Amino acid sequence: MLMAAMLADASAQPAPPAEPAASAPANLAGTAAIDMAQATQRVARSSAEWLARSIDGWFGDEPFPRVERVADGRMDIGLYKREGDNAALDLRFDARFRLPNLERRAYLFIGRDDRRDAVQDTPDDVALRQRLRADGGGERSFLAGLGLGLLPGLDARVGLSASAQPYAQLRWRQRWRPQPAQSIDLRQTVFATRADRLGSTTALGWDWQLAPRWTLRWFNAATLTQARRGWAGSSSLSVQHDLDGARLLTAEAVLASEGTRAGGTGSSERGLLLKWEQALHEDWLRGELVLGHFWPRASGDADISRAWALGAAVKLRF
C-alpha cells in the first residue's frame, strides 16, 4: 500500500518544464528585425503623407481624405564593394505624391539619390551596375520637384537638387505586347540642366517569357549630352528564374562603354553578374545579393584588367 501511494504521488507531480528550443533566440531576432522594418515602413509612409498634405494645402483647403496621396515609395539601403576599392554604403529614397488641390494629374516627387542618375533618368538596372563599377560611387543628393501628367505615358517635371541646382525633364513611356509571352518597353527622357544644357536618355527593353518561370531579357540604354559632346551606353542580356514567386535568380552579361560623337570609344567594361532577390516579409520588404566580375579597359590601353564586386541591399516599399 505504501509503495502504491508513493507511486501515485510521483505521478501526480507536474512534469518538469521543457527545455527552450535552441532556435528561440534566432526566432526572436528575426521577429525583432521584422518589427523594426514594419515600424520603418509606417514612419516613412506617414511622414510622406504628412508632407504631401502640407504642400497640397498651399493650393487649397479641400482635405481629400480618401485620395491615395503616396505612390511608388521606396527606401533602399545597400553596401557595395569592388576589389581594390573601399566598401560604400548607399542609401536611396524616393516617393511620388499626388496634389489633388493643385490639379488631378499633378504630383510631387522627393528623394535622395545620385543627382546625375535622377536628372538623366537612368534606369534602375543600369544604376545598379554603375554602383558596382570602379567609378560608381556617385554623390548622393536631396532632390524634389513637381510633375505634371500631360498625356498617357507622357509627363513633364521640374526639380531642384542640393545647392538649388534646377533641372527639367520631359519623359515618355510606352509598352507593346507583340505576342502574349513578349513585351517591349521604350523610355525616352529629354532633360535640361545648367551643366549639361540639353541631353537625352533612351532605354529599350525586350522581355520574352520562355516558360512559366523563365524569362529572357535584353536591355539597352544610352545617354547623350550637349555640353559633354559624348555618350554613355550599356547593353545587357539576362536570364531570370522565378523559383516560387518570392525568390528570383538572375544571370546577366553586360557591356558598358563611353565615347565621343566622332565615333571614338573612351572606355569600356564587360561584366558578368549573378543576382539573388527574395522577399523577406510579405511583398514590401525584399533582400538582394549581387556578385559581379568585370573586365574594364581604358581608351588606348591594350591590357584588360579584372575585378570582383559584391553588393547587398534591403529594399523597403511603402
pLDDT tens figures, 92-148: 888 887 777 666 677 888 888 888 888 999 888 788 777 776 555 567 788 889 898
Q: Quick: pLDDT tens for 208-242.
A: 999 999 999 999 999 999 887 778 899 999 999 99
The residue to which cell 512559366 is assigned: 212
Report the pLDDT value the prediction gives residue 315, as an integer from 0 to 100.
Answer: 93
DSSP string, 62-83: ---TTS--EEEEEEEEEEEEET
The answer, yes or no, to whether residue 188 has pLDDT greater than 90, is yes
- C-alpha span between 87 and 94 (Å, rounded): 23
Query: What is the CA angle 130-197-150, rounded to 5?
Result: 85
| Least confident range of 21-25, 66-70, 166-170, 177-181 | 21-25
pLDDT of residue 58: 67
0.95 cut: is pTM over it?
no
| Amino acid, single-letter form, for residue 241 | H
32-317 CATH fold = Porin (2.40.160)
b/e map 167-195, b = 16+ CB within 10 Å: bebebeeeeeeeeeeebeeebbbbbbbee
C-alpha distances (whole Å) from 240 to each of 179, 211, 237, 298 are 19, 11, 10, 31
pLDDT (mean) for 17-30: 59
Place of cell 563611353: 258
